[in-house]
């Protein structure tokens, strides 16, 4: 075994190993490009033909990757993308970065992971290393993935190696690109951990080996559950502070001066994205199998899920104080995506707010510089032109996402009333601005 690890180490240092990345989304594509930039041959496998087409046209579909960066990596000839799994047999390392959605609230859906593993299982070359990056509940790698690979006589630690390494991409965070984010790795065996370490140490500043795949899976869920619980907490405290006529934003700013033992979270219209609203519910589901019901996860999830309705309730009250009824008002929602400067609508609370307003017979429009159209199940709207005539026609403007590319002074000047759920107008004392 040591001979193989030593041999593998040499081949890694000589860039003689090929890496396949399955799933080129916001996790897989940056990862694939990072390995290619470090001189590895990378085979990107993506079943979405539009994405394959974009890459072939050197067009990035990921906010954090520019066309230029994609073009430069492709020009080096160390990265290619295809839409089938046949090339897996060339790969020494196969990294799976496919989505892990929910079937419904609290019910994980690991069918994409299983599908990807089944697609590679019959192609993997002898002693290949398989790494799962998709966020999932503790036990997935060992209990679900290992058996799928140990078929047809294959044995772990002889014919292949398997580990888990959680992705930690923070979309839109320029301070922390892939190579600046430490990486946790946990193998089904110590050898698998070691091999995974040898691969990732080439692209990140620090690799953190842990004792097993399930510990690595749990690390990621702790990270995201930590965020869910704290965002749920601050959302609840925001509702409490409003009742008590206390400015929660001022409270947070002052609490931030504590140099230890405090980390600021900010209230908002709800929690979107593909991670925070969902990943902790994977942990909830698995823990329940052990007879443990996490009250924190359930409560936090319920608080954040109720935020869009709370926002509309507050809006109705704000309009009522102006002698207006919600179902007779025109409301503009500024920002449709789940967080600022990210072109991603997944689980966006702004969309929930728009839907609730529509159901309340309110005439609702939206403006988002990144999203020209909303063509969804229940919403079919075009982003309005943000001009003074349009702005002044609305009874209230709701700031739901705090995109940088909006002229908020122009919005302030031309709006009759603003409900600011993101504290964009923190330094404004204008009576027409009402804060969450």
Long-range contacts of 68-72 (CB under 8 A, 24+ apart): 69/33, 70/33
Identify residues 299-338 at the interface with ligand SAJ (CB under 6 A).
338
* Min dist. Cβ of residue 314 to ligand SAJ (A): 16
- Per DSSP bridges, beta strands 160-164 and 183-187 are antiparallel
Identify residues 332-351 at the interface with ligand SAJ (CB under 6 A).
338-339
CB-based contacts of 146, cutoff 8 Å, min separation 6: 156, 162, 188
Cβ-based nearer residue to ligand SAJ, 27 or 331: 27
According to CB under 6 A, which one of 265, 313, 355, 416 is a site residue for ligand SAJ? 265
Contact between 253 and ligand SAJ by CB under 6 A: the answer reads: no
- Per DSSP bridges, beta strands 330-334 and 380-382 are unpaired
Contact 403, 335 (CB under 8 A): yes
Cα–Cα distance measured from residue 351 to residue 335, given in angstroms and rounded to the nearest whole number: 9
Contact between 271 and ligand SAJ by CB under 6 A: the answer reads: yes
Identify residues 60-119 at the interface with ligand SAJ (CB under 6 A).
none
Cβ-based nearer residue to ligand SAJ, 237 or 393: 237
Q: Is 362 a catalytic residue?
A: no
* Min dist. Cβ of residue 237 to ligand SAJ (A): 12
Contact 271, 304 (CB under 8 A): yes
Contact between 275 and ligand SAJ by CB under 6 A: the answer reads: yes
According to CB under 6 A, which one of 23, 28, 186, 273 is a site residue for ligand SAJ? 273
Q: Please say whether the dihedral angle defined by the alpha carbons of residues 190, 191, 196 and 201, taken in this order, is positive or negative.
A: positive
Contact between 278 and ligand SAJ by CB under 6 A: the answer reads: no
Contact 93, 160 (CB under 8 A): no
User: In what order do the strands lie in the sheet containing 207-210?
Assistant: 79-82, 41-45, 18-22, 93-96, 128-132, 160-164, 183-187, 207-210
Q: What is the pattern of x (binds ligand SAJ, CB under 6 A) and - over residues 121-140? A: --------------x-----
Identify residues 226-245 at the interface with ligand SAJ (CB under 6 A).
227, 231
Q: Please say whether the dihedral angle defined by the alpha carbons of residues 274, 223, 130 and 157, taken in this order, is positive or negative.
A: negative
Identify residues 163-192 at the interface with ligand SAJ (CB under 6 A).
167-171
Contact between 30 and ligand SAJ by CB under 6 A: the answer reads: no
Q: Which residues bind ligand SAJ (CB under 6 A)?
A: 135, 167-171, 224, 227, 231, 265-266, 268, 271-273, 275-276, 338-339
């Amino acid at each position: 075994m040591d001979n193989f690890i030593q041999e593998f180490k040499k081949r890694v240092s000589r860039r003689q190993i090929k890496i396949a990345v399955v799933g080129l989304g916001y996790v897989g594509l940056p990862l694939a490009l990072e390995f290619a930039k470090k001189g590895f041959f990378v085979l990107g496998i993506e079943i979405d033909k539009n994405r394959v087409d974009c890459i072939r046209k050197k067009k990035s579909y990921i906010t954090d990757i520019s066309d230029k960066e994609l073009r430069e990596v492709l020009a080096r000839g160390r990265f290619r993308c295809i839409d089938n799994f046949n090339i897996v047999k060339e790969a020494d390392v196969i990294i799976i970065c496919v989505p892990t959605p929910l079937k419904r609230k609290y019910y994980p859906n690991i069918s994409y992971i299983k599908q990807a593993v089944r697609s590679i299982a019959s192609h993997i070359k002898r002693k290949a290393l398989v790494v799962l990056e998709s966020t999932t509940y503790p036990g997935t790698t060992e209990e679900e993935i290992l058996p799928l690979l140990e078929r047809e006589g294959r044995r772990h630690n002889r014919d292949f190696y398997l580990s888990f390494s959680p992705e930690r991409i923070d979309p839109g965070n320029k301070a922390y690109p892939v190579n600046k984010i430490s990486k946790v790795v946990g193998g089904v065996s110590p050898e698998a951990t070691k091999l995974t370490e040898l691969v990732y140490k080439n692209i990140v500043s620090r690799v953190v080996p842990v004792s097993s795949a399930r510990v690595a899976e749990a690390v990621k869920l702790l990270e995201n559950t930590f965020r869910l619980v704290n965002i749920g907490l601050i959302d609840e405290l925001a509702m409490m502070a409003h009742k008590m006529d206390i400015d929660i934003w001022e409270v947070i700013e002052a609490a931030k001066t504590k140099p230890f033992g405090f980390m600021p979270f900010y209230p908002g219209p709800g929690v979107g994205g593909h991670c925070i609203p969902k990943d902790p519910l994977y942990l909830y589901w698995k823990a329940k199998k052990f007879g443990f019901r996490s009250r924190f996860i359930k409560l936090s999830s319920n608080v954040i899920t109720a935020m869009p309705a709370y926002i509309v309730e507050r809006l109705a009250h704000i309009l009522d104080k102006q002698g207006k009824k919600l179902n007779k008002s025109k409301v503009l929602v500024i920002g449709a995506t789940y967080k600022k400067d990210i072109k991603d609508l997944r689980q966006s609370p702004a969309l929930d707010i728009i839907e609730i307003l529509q159901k309340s017979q309110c005439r609702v429009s939206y403006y988002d510089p990144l999203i020209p159209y909303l063509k969804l199940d229940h919403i079919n709207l075009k982003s309005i032109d943000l001009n003074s005539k349009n702005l002044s026609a609305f009874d209230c403007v709701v700031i739901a996402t705090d995109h940088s590319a909006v002229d908020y002074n122009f919005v302030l000047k031309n709006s009759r009333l603003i409900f600011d759920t993101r504290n964009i107008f923190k330094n404004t004392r204008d009576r027409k601005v009402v804060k969450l």
